[in-house]
Amino acid sequence: MRRMLRTTTLAGTILLAAALALSGCAGVVAAGGGRASASASASAKGSSSESAVGEWGDVDDSTQPSLVLAKDGTLTGTDGCNQLNGGWTQEGDTVTFSNVASTMMMCAEVDTWLAGLDTAKVDGSTMTVYGPAGRKVGTLERADG
């Protein structure tokens, strides 16, 4: 009887932990989408900042850095070697990247500077990308402009 109670308790604990982990993932997606929608609404209400939504860099050449920033607050892209996925928000001309994940392939002679993205500034058709210490790491030109 005690053994069955321990097994049931252990199974219940594992199921609870899995449910909490999955609900945490769902919260991140919903929060990212919600913030992006709020930013899009602010832009629609007459903010002078240009929306960062769109394609940046040469999205047709996977050996060159590029980003696609979707209206729902998600990003996809490549640093010229590895695939990038994550979220983003915009306040004014500042873009903040969040929860960015990257594949970890090693590519000879490829400068993977874009993998170090943290924030960016949009100025017309140019996105200047900054790393975690606020250091400029590179620029991307708007591809769909």
Decide which of 63 and 48 is more confident. Answer: 63
Mean pLDDT of the chain: 75
Alpha carbon distance, N-terminus to C-terminus of the chain: 69
pLDDT at 29: 29
Q: How far apart are CA 122 and CA 95, in angstroms?
A: 8
Residue 145's pLDDT is: 63
What is the pLDDT averaged over residues 104-119? 89
73-88 tens-digit pLDDT:
999 999 999 999 999 9
Buried b (16+ CB within 10 A) or exposed e, 58-84: bbeeeeebbbbbeeebbbebbbbbbeb
Selected from 3.40.50, 2.40.128, 3.90.1070, 2.30.30, the CATH number assigned to the domain covering 1-145 reads 2.40.128
| Residue range 16-31, pLDDT digits in tens | 343 333 333 333 222 2
